[in-house]
Amino acid sequence: MSEIIVGIDLGTTNSLIGAMEAGFPILLADAAGERLVPSVVHFPKSGVPVVGRAALRMRAVEPESTVYSVKRFMGRRIGEEADDVAYKLAGKPGEPVRISIREREFAPEEIAALILAALKAEAERVLEQPISRAVITVPAYFNDAQRNATKKAGELAGLTVERIVNEPTAAALAYGLDRLKDRSKIAVYDFGGGTFDISILELNQGVFQVLATNGNTRLGGDDIDAAIVAHLAELAGVEPGPRLREVAIAAKHALSFAAETRVELPFLEDGRSFSHTLTRVELETLARPIVERTRQHCLRAFADARLAASELDDVILVGGQTRMPLIREFVRAIFSREPNVSQNPDEAVALGATIQAGILSGAVQNVVLLDVTPLSLGIETFGGLMNVIIPRNSTIPTKRGELFTNAVSGQRSMLIRVLQGEREMAKDNWELGKYALEFEPAPKNQARVGVQFAIDANGILHVLARDTKTGAEHVLAMTSAVDVSDEAVEKMLEDSLEHAFEDMNDRVFTEASLKANELLPAVTLALAQVGSALPEADRDTITRCAADVQAALAAGGAPGLKKAVAALDAATQHLAAILVEQAMRGASK
C-alpha cells in the first residue's frame, strides 16, 4: 500500500483534513464527530496550547491569549495588515508580524503549525498510522511569501508539504471528480472568512485547466462581521468587543435562514441590557458594499479568461459566507444563472486537497490539474521598463528564459531586478529580489546573460541567472516578496487599468528615446564621414529631422518622438546606404 498523503484546508476560520479511502476522498471527523476544526489556538497559563473547539470557547473568556484568524498574518509584515485582533502583535513596522502571547512571541506560521499538528494527530488516530505527507490549500491570490510561510507551517508540524494548491482550484476538483467525462467551463466563487477568490476553469476529460484567477486576500466574512459589530455597538451605546462579535456572528448565521433574529446583550457594564431585532434587510444594507467589492474581481477574471458569463456552464459557491442569501442573489445577477450549491461550501476545498493528495499518491488516476500564476513576473530592462518574462494567468509549473545583453561597452556587471506586477514601468511594480551578475568586460551588446524564471507547482518562484560565455550561474534569492501587501496588489491591478494609456505612452517614449539616442550620434558621425556625397538639400533635411528629434526628446510626448524618429530614419536611408557601400568597398580592398 502506498503511503497516505492527507489533504488539508487550512482556513482563516476553520480547518479540515481528509484522506483517500477506497478510492473516495473522505474528510476525517474528530472524536465528537466534527469535521470542521476552528482555526483557533488558546495558550493556557500553564500546560500545552489548546487547538480547535476548546480553544474557540476560550476566545471570549481570555481573548488576549487566544489566537484566531492567524492565516491573515502569514507571510506579512507589520503595517500591511490591520491589527484589529484581540491578541497582541509585536514587531516593528516593515518587519514580519509576530504574535505576542503571555510574554512569548510566535511567528504566525508557528501558530498555524499547532493547528496543522492537531489535524495531523487526529488523522493518525483515525487512520491508525503515522502521517508525514500533506497537500495544503491557500487562497489563489497568496503571494510568494504567504505560500512559503504555509509550507514552513507544515514542516514545523512534521509534515512534508507535497503540494500547495489554490483553494478555488481544489473546490473545482471536488466538483468535477464525478464529471470527468464532461467538457465544461466553470467559475468558482469562493467567499470565505478572510479571503475572496474567483477562478475560471475549463474541465476537459479529466484535465482541470485554470483559465484565469483573481481575488483579494483581505476581503471576507470578517469584514461583514466588523460592519455588524460597529452597527450594534452604536445602537447599544457600547464599545465593540469579543462578546459583541460573538453575538454579531451568531446573528449573521441565523439571518441566512431567517428574516429576523433577536440580538440580546444582557448585563452590560452599567447594568443595562440591550436587545434588538436585527432584520435580514438591515444586515444586507451593511453587507452590500462589502459583497459589491467582489464584482470587479469577477469582471477581471472574465476579461482574462476571454469569456462572457453566458459561456460558462456552471458557477460553484465555496466558503461558509456564500450561505448568505445576498451573496447568492449577487452571484445570480453577475453570472446570469442560478449558482450551483451542490458542494458543501465548507468542505469542497478540503475534499479537493484530498483529491490532489490522491493524484500525487497514485490513488486517483486520469486527472490532471493545470493551475495559473496570478501576477506577471519579469525583470527591469533599459530605460526602466518592465520586461515581462512570465505573464499573469500563465499555466504553472512553467519555466521561461530570456537573453539580455549589456547596454554599454566595457560593462562589468548587470543588475537583475526581479519584479512582480502589471505596470509598464519597473518603478511601478514590486521588487522581489535583485542581484548584480558580474561578467568579463565586453563591447556593447556582446555580453549575454540568460535569465530563467521557473514557477513550481506550488506557485513559488525560482530565478536563475547565467553568464552564457563562462556558464557561471547564480540562483537569485527572492527576499522582498513579503512587502507585497494585498491592498497593494489590488491597487496595482486597478492602477494598471487606470494608467494603461499613460503607461503605454511611457513605454513608447522610452523605447523611442532609446532609439533616438542611438540614432543621433550615428547620424552626426555619418554626416561627418560621408555627408559630402549627398546633395545639399538632403543634408539639410537630415539636419532638420535630427533637430526635430532633439526637440521631441525635450518635449517628452511619445507620439511626437516616435514620429520624429521615424522621419529621421527615413531621411537617412540614403546616407546609411552610402555608409554601407563605402564599408563594403573598404572591405574588398
Residue of 10, 13, 74, 548 interacting with ligand AMP (CB under 6 A): 13
Interface stretch with ligand AMP, choices 135-143, 320-328, 366-374, 577-585 (CB under 6 A): 320-328
Is 319 a residue that touches ligand AMP (CB under 6 A)?
yes
30, 80, 81, 167: which is the annotated catalytic residue? 167
The long-range contacts involving 486-494, CB below 8 angstroms and separated by at least 24 positions, are: 486/80, 486/141, 486/216, 486/217, 486/218, 487/80, 487/218, 488/430, 489/141, 489/143, 489/216, 489/217, 489/375, 490/216, 492/375, 492/421, 492/422, 492/423, 492/428, 492/429, 492/430, 493/300, 493/422, 494/296
Residue with smallest beta-carbon separation from ligand AMP: 221
Among 4, 6, 12, 379, binds ligand AMP (CB under 6 A): 12
190 flagged as catalytic: yes
Q: What's the sign of the alpha-carbon dihedral 490, 232, 56, 100?
A: positive
Tell me which residues in 135-194 interact with ligand AMP (CB under 6 A): 192-193
What is the C-alpha to C-alpha distance for residues 166 and 189, in angstroms, rounded to an integer? 13
The residue within the footprint of ligand AMP, chosen from 151, 163, 252, 562 (CB under 6 A), is: 252
Which is nearest to 116 in space by CA: 57, 108, 421? 108
Count of residues binding ligand AMP (CB under 6 A)? 18
* Residue tagged active-site, from 30, 80, 122, 190: 190
Q: Please give the C-alpha separations between residue 479 and each of 302, 418, 450, 465, 584, in angstroms, as whole numbers.
A: 33, 10, 21, 16, 52
Residue closer to ligand AMP by CB (options 176, 192) is 192
> Per CB under 6 A, which of residues 325..354 are in contact with ligand AMP?
346
Site for ligand AMP in 357-396 (CB under 6 A): none
| Residue of the chain from 66, 150, 261, 321 that contacts ligand AMP (CB under 6 A) | 321
User: How far does Cα 261 stand from its chain's mean position?
Assistant: 38
Cell digits for 188?
Answer: 468558482
The verdict on whether 9 is a catalytic residue reads yes
* Sheet with strand 41-42: strands edge to edge: 50-51, 41-42, 66-67
Please pick, from the candidates 14, 66, 150, 166, the single residue that binds ligand AMP as defined by CB under 6 A.
Answer: 14
CB under 6 A: which stretch of 120-128, 208-216, 319-327, 500-508 binds ligand AMP? 319-327
Q: Which residue has the cell 487547538?
A: 51
**Toward ligand AMP, which CB reaches closer, 162 or 190?**
190
Q: What is the C-alpha separation between 5 and 7, in angstroms, rounded?
A: 7
Least gap, CB of 226 to ligand AMP (angstroms):
11
Q: Find the binder of ligand AMP among 320, 339, 358, 421 (CB under 6 A).
A: 320
Comparing C-alpha atoms, which of 198, 196, 124, 206 is closest to residue 157? 124
C-alpha cell at 169: 482550484
Span near ligand AMP by CB under 6 A; candidates 152-160, 175-183, 318-326, 513-521? 318-326
Of 51, 111, 149, 249, the one binding ligand AMP by CB under 6 A: 249
Residues classed as catalytic: 9, 71, 167, 190
Task: Tell me which residues touch ligand AMP (CB under 6 A).
Answer: 11-14, 192-193, 221-222, 249, 252-253, 256, 319-321, 323-324, 346
